[in-house]
């Protein structure tokens, strides 16, 4: 590869991601968590809607690994025929990625190979194969040079951690993201890192620190891959109300609610 091409690849490698939409599995994991709350907090009718949506989406997207998790969590019997069908679809899709990678290595370049590898890792995350998604992202991190691209891979691992509520993984990856952002994170990635960190702090009940980071991000929120802006506002207000003083709530939180 010529030095000019290498330079071009590095520029593309560090370019900010295009705006992402919230992954289906993150949305489903939120609903699965709500299903485990008492009926006083979440009405039965709403729970029935969540359950139907989860099972419908899982089947539509052939999320075989996540289907097993849902059945275990909700104490449901596994539909073996459905599971086998979804599993076969997963195997076929992975085979397709493998074939594309071989073709990219033989007929294209490093950029195309990397694109296939990222797509395969994302697919593992999408269907709920936690181990393979994390391992795939780790392998990509070993061969990634650009700071921006490394941060994006760590963000992807953090999203997997949020899906599975893996506190150990989240703690490790938040620390890794911090180091990368401090070394070479651009403005957008720094803002996104703040929201990812705030979300982790909220999950670990560090509400004051979470609220402060959420408030800093209100004018620059771009983490649509995690949750909607309305959900972000809810988390910000919740964390602030249980941890910040009245003056701060009056000056900063009220502004969010009326803007």
3-12 pLDDT tens trace: 333 333 333 4
Q: Which two tokens stand for residue 11?
A: 């520029």
Mean pLDDT (whole number) for 159-176: 97
> Which one-letter DSSP state was computed for residue 253?
I
pLDDT value of position 177: 97
pLDDT value of position 247: 86
- Report yes or no: 256 and 218 within 8 Å, Cβ to Cβ: yes
Query: CB-hemisphere CA count at 13 Å for 116?
Result: 18
CA nearest neighbour of 194 among 75, 202, 76: 202
pLDDT cut 90: percent of the chain above it:
79
Q: Whole-model pTM above 0.85?
A: yes
Mean pLDDT (whole number) for 43-69: 96
> Which one-letter DSSP state was computed for residue 15?
S
Mean pLDDT (whole number) for 206-212: 96
pLDDT value of position 259: 59
Spatial separation of the C-alpha atoms in residues 148 and 153, rounded to whole Å: 9
The answer, yes or no, to whether residue 243 has pLDDT greater than 90, is yes
- Report yes or no: 95 and 160 within 8 Å, Cβ to Cβ: no
CA nearest neighbour of 30 among 204, 226, 209: 226
Q: Is 244 helix (H, G, I), strand (E, B) or coil?
A: coil
Where is pLDDT greater, at 80 or 11?
80
Spatial separation of the C-alpha atoms in residues 35 and 48, rounded to whole Å: 9
Q: Among 92-106, 126-140, 212-226, where is mean pLDDT lowest?
A: 212-226
230-257 as b/e: b if 16+ CB within 10 A: eebbebbbebbeebbeeeeeeebbeebe
CA nearest neighbour of 193 among 182, 208, 205: 182
Average pLDDT over the chain, rounded to an integer: 90
The answer, yes or no, to whether residue 34 has pLDDT greater than 60, is yes
Q: Which two tokens stand for residue 177?
A: 């993201």
Q: Which two tokens stand for residue 166?
A: 């893996």
- Report yes or no: 246 and 257 within 8 Å, Cβ to Cβ: no
pLDDT value of position 251: 80
172-205 pLDDT tens trace: 999 999 999 998 889 999 999 999 999 999 999 9
Band of residue 246 on the pLDDT scale cut at 50, 70, 90:
confident
Q: Which residue has the tokens 């899982």?
A: 58
pLDDT value of position 207: 97
Q: Which two tokens stand for residue 242?
A: 């249980």
The answer, yes or no, to whether residue 154 has pLDDT greater than 50, is yes
- Report yes or no: 149 and 14 within 8 Å, Cβ to Cβ: yes
Domain locations in the chain as residue ranges: 21-143
């Amino acid at each position: 590869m010529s030095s000019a091409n290498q330079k071009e690849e590095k520029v593309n490698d560090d370019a900010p991601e295009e705006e992402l939409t919230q992954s289906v599995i993150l949305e489903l994991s939120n609903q699965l968590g709500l299903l485990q709350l008492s009926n006083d907090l979440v009405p039965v009718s709403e729970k029935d809607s969540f359950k139907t949506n989860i099972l419908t989406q899982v089947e539509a997207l052939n999320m075989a690994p996540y289907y097993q998790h849902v059945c275990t969590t909700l104490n449901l019997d596994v539909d073996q025929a459905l599971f086998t069908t979804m599993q076969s679809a997963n195997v076929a899709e992975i085979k397709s990625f493998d074939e594309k990678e071989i073709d990219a290595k033989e007929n294209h370049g490093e950029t195309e190979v990397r694109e296939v590898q990222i797509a395969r890792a994302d697919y593992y995350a999408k269907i709920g194969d936690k181990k393979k998604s994390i391992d795939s992202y780790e392998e990509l991190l070993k061969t990634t040079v650009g700071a921006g691209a490394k941060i994006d891979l760590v963000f992807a691992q953090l999203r997997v951690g949020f899906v599975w509520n893996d506190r150990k993984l989240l703690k490790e990856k938040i620390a890794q993201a911090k180091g990368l952002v401090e070394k070479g994170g651009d403005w957008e990635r720094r803002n996104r890192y703040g929201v990812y960190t705030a979300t982790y702090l909220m999950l670990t009940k560090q509400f004051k620190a979470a609220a402060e980071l959420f408030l800093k991000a209100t004018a620059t929120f771009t983490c649509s891959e995690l949750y909607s802006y309305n959900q972000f506002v809810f988390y910000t207000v919740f964390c602030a109300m249980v941890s910040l003083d009245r003056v701060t709530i009056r000056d900063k939180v009220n502004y969010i609610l009326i803007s």
